[in-house]
Structure formats: C-alpha cells, structure tokens
Structure 1
Amino acid sequence: MIRLAIVTSALQRMTVCEANELYGETGRFRYLQFADDAVQGAIDLRRPERIVLEYPRALIHLIDRNAPDFRRLFMIGHGIGTIAAHYPDQEVTVAEIDEQVVELSRTYFHYRRDNVLIGDGRQLLAEQADGGHDCLVLDAFTEEGTPHHLSTLEFFRLARGKLRDPALMLLNLMGKGAGDKRVRAIHTALAEVFPHTLAFALPGEASSEQRNMLLAGSAYPLAYDPRAMAGFACIALDPGFAPRDRKPSAADTF
C-alpha cells in the first residue's frame, strides 16, 4: 500500500492510497480513507469506469429501478464523486461540507463535474426549491457516523418537501444489522414521512460487526432485483424511537 496524499482539514484527516488488493480483490486500486480508516470511495485504475464498492452499485440499482427517468438528483456527501459521475446527462447537485474532499476527488479520482456546493447539507437542501428534485441520496459520515441532524424526523420532512414523485430517498449508513438501535430509529423516522420503505444490509460475520446498511423511502412501492444489489440483502427492522432535532451544536454540520 502506498500513500499518495495525507490531508488534514478543519474537519477531518484524509488519506489517498494505492494498493494491489482491496477487500480481497487483486488489481490496481486507488481509494480515499477518512480518519477511521473506512474507505469512502475507490477506483480501479485498470478499469476506471467500473464501480468498485458494493454500496454505490446497490444505490445506483435502486435509482435506476425506482426512478429510471429522473431529471434532478440531490446528494449530501461527495466522497470521490462516484454516483454523481455515473449520471453525466442528469442534473446532479452535491452538498459537501469539506472543500478538501472535493479537491482530492478532482486531483486523484478524475472528478470533473462542476456541481458541488460547499456547506452544511441540510442547510443547502433547505435552500432548494420545493418539489424540485426526483431523488435524494444521503451518504454523509463523520467519525461518529451519520450526523444527527441528517437523521431526524424533521430532516426527513424537509427532504420530502424538496422531492416530487416518485420522491425516492436513499441513505447509506453504518450499522450492526437488523438489531442496530440507531438504524432502527432512523428507519422509523423515514417511515413516518415516506409511505414505502426498505432496508438492506451487507452480511457480517458477527452481529456486532459494523457494515454498510441502506435505507430506501419513496412515495411509491419500491422494487429491486436481489441479483443487482451487490451482496446487500433485504432485512426487516423493528420499530425504534424516531430521532428528533436537538439544540444545534458545532458538531452538527455536514
């Protein structure tokens, strides 16, 4: 493994690495890591058009299956720009709190679109026109996980107001499977706003193992092909206690 860049911004520490193996697959990979060593995005240097990580492949399938003719997509969390770059002919707006993330995506991961707004994702979403977007993707993380103010009942109500039918909302979270209390709580809040929801998780060797989990909400019944979900399996989540907004703090920005 070779470190190409180590950048410390006001918000986080980021590393760009190259390696001949990633998650058991051999090849030539370049990837972005944050301080917790979680891989936030990766490209195959031999096949740059290939989507390497499971979760963006699954999210793209859910978009293509449930909003195939979408015109406008809003994203919170940029990473290396995998999903935004996948839709060059659609209008995609990305909110990213850390300008250094965007610079790394341009310098090391070939991101070329001029569609990223720098600032807090919830605030930038609030500034969008009501009913102006077809889809919303939340893929935002700090070392503590998804920021609280991007996972509350009030946030999902805000998001729904910015979406027109099919009003597809997708979330990439980290959790411990069906028993994860915080993911169950977030799903409960999502389900209070969107009449149709689904939850997915990658398999884990132990129930306590953190893994990617996806939530989907829509005004219409959701569809998916299990063979196209990149290993994610649909799971049932018990109800939780929907998170509510709290008094803002300095940590509640993304």
Structure 2
Amino acid sequence: MNESIPVVRDVDRGTARLLPDVDRERAWLLTVDGAPQSYVDLEAPQHLEFEYARRLGHVVDCAAEPGAPLDVLHLGGGALTLPRYVAATRPGSRQDVAEADRGLLALVAEHLPLPDRSGIAVHGTDARAHLEATAPGSVDVLVADVFGGSRVPAHLTTVPYARAAARALRADGVYAANLADGAPFDFLRPQLATFAAVFAELAVIAEPAVLRGRRFGNVILVASHTPFDTAALIRRCAADAFPARVEHGAAVAGLVKGARPVGDAEAVDSPEPPDGAFGIG
C-alpha cells in the first residue's frame, strides 16, 4: 500500500496536487486545478493508467519494431508519463520534452525523479517555440499532449503549427495528439481539416460513445505522410479494458467534409469540458 503524503504546490499555471495511489506502491496522480493531468507508477513506468495515455502508447508501439529505439519529441510534459513509458519499452531512445510550466517541472523533478541515463531531456519552454526550433527531419514520433487547464491552447491548432510538426518529422514519422471534444465536433473537425492540409494520412482513436456524439471525451489524432499500420493499431485499441475505435480513410474524410483548416488569426482554444468529463481510465 502507498502510504505517501499528498503534495500540494502552486505552480505557474494553477495549483498542482500529487496524490498517492493507495493501491499501488510509488504510484501518483497529478492534478492541476482539479483536472487530472498525469498518472505515474515509478516502479512500473510501462503501466499507463489513463485511457488516452494507453492510446498514445499504442501509437508509439506501432511506430517501429518492438523495442527499437526512437527519437521522440513530446509537446507537453506533465509528470512525464509517456516519456517514461518509451524509455522503459524502447531503451536507447532519445527524447525531448517541451513543458512551459517550469514550476510543474520542478515539482515533478523533486518528487517523481527520472531514472539515471533515461535519455529524456526536459525543456521549460513553450511547445510551439520548441517545435519550430527543432531540426528538420530529426523526429520519429511527435506526441502533442498540451492542455492549459483542460483546454488545448489555440496556437497549437493551426496550419503553421501542423507544418512545423511535419517539418520536424522524418519522412516516415508519426504525429499523435491528444484532443478533446464532443458533438457536433466544432473543434475536432477543423483540426482534422488542418492536418489534412499538411499530412497525407489521418486517423482518429476514441471510444465509440465519443465518436457517436453521445458524450464529450478524448480523441487521439494520428497523422503521417506515409501509410500507418492501422490494422495493428486497431487490434491494440480493441483489446483494451475500455476498447476504442480507430477511424481512418473514408470515415475521417466524412468527418472533415465541410470543415476548413485553421489559421493563426482565427484559432481558438479547444472547448471547456463539461463537469465530470474526465476521470481516471
């Protein structure tokens, strides 16, 4: 049993809480202003508690042969859950993390330190600024999981941002972003149009109830220039305790139809989620 004491600290963008999981030794939930941000098990970094994190993990799993090291750029850090996962499952990977909240980074470094020689470099900087400074063609997988509170910041939703992501990726690289929306998908549909304007291949991963418009929830957007192994991704997502659907091809084109790409001038944050929309998966 985890008998650690909760930690509460004001960080740059709110009040962060590290709450011990009473059922798992050395496991912690990070919240910021009450919104769940990350879950980390220091003894088992390959354990992904949140459903959306598992789906991002599935994208990484399908990006290369099992165990092969990758160059990964993470936009948004939180408690560094996915970087720890990649380090554990793909030893020798080189990873960069851009997280704007330096107070949060200090809290995580103090209470949830990274293992030695993890290959993870953490940068206290704006995600888009770091992306735009990334060497062209240097990244195998780009993961965007940036939320200001419970909303994706507007400057990470535009065609210039998508072009910067495409420029950083290698020719066979993969982009994966954690988004959140509900019917009628007034945020998601323009996001798909935005990335369709830059990338040749798109897919989305979400619970069937979210895709049917029955509730608000996380949607993983996957984009690449070359065909992605959607069959393997479908198998992994279907085998989860809370199965998700993978839509691609005509299904994604149907969602995009009528939506327009987003420019910097008209970009807005993702919608505020309704109360109780997010919980631990």
Equivalence map 1:1-150=2 (5 Å): 4-20=6-22, 29-35=27-33, 37-44=34-41, 47=44, 49-68=46-65, 69=68, 71-88=70-87, 89-112=92-115, 113=118, 115-143=121-149, 145-150=151-156
Aligned AA (1:171)? A
Work out which of the residue numbers 189, 198, 201 in structure 1 matches 2:194. 189
CA contact (8 A) 1:73 1:135 kept: yes
SS at match of 2:38: strand
Aligned AA (1:71)? L
The alpha-carbon deviation at position 76 of structure 1 amounts to 0.3
Stretch deviating more after TM superposition (61-70 or 217-226) = 61-70
SS at match of 2:176: strand
CA contact (8 A) 2:12 2:104 kept: no
Equivalent-residue separation in structure 1 for 2:246 and 2:234 (angstroms): 8
In structure 2, the partner of 1:202 is 207
> What is the CA deviation profile of residues 74-128 of structure 1, one whole-angstrom value per residue up to 9, with x for unaligned ones?
1100011111112331110110001122223233334344501111111111111
1:225 equivalenced with 2:233 (yes/no)? yes
Change (3 A) 1:63 1:27: closer
What's the Cα RMSD here? 2.7
The alpha-carbon deviation at position 208 of structure 1 amounts to 5.8
TM-score, scaled to structure 1: 0.84
CA contact (8 A) 1:76 1:138 kept: yes
SS at match of 1:193: coil
Change (3 A) 1:204 1:191: same
* Structure 2, unaligned runs of 5 or more: 269-281
SS at match of 2:222: strand
In structure 1, the partner of 2:272 is none
SS at match of 1:209: coil
CA contact (8 A) 2:55 2:205 kept: no
Equivalent-residue separation in structure 2 for 1:91 and 1:9 (angstroms): 27
CA contact (8 A) 1:128 1:162 kept: yes
SS at match of 2:164: helix
The alpha-carbon deviation at position 167 of structure 1 amounts to 2.2
Equivalent-residue separation in structure 2 for 1:93 and 1:58 (angstroms): 20
* Structure 1, unaligned runs of 5 or more: 21-25, 250-254
The alpha-carbon deviation at position 14 of structure 1 amounts to 1.3
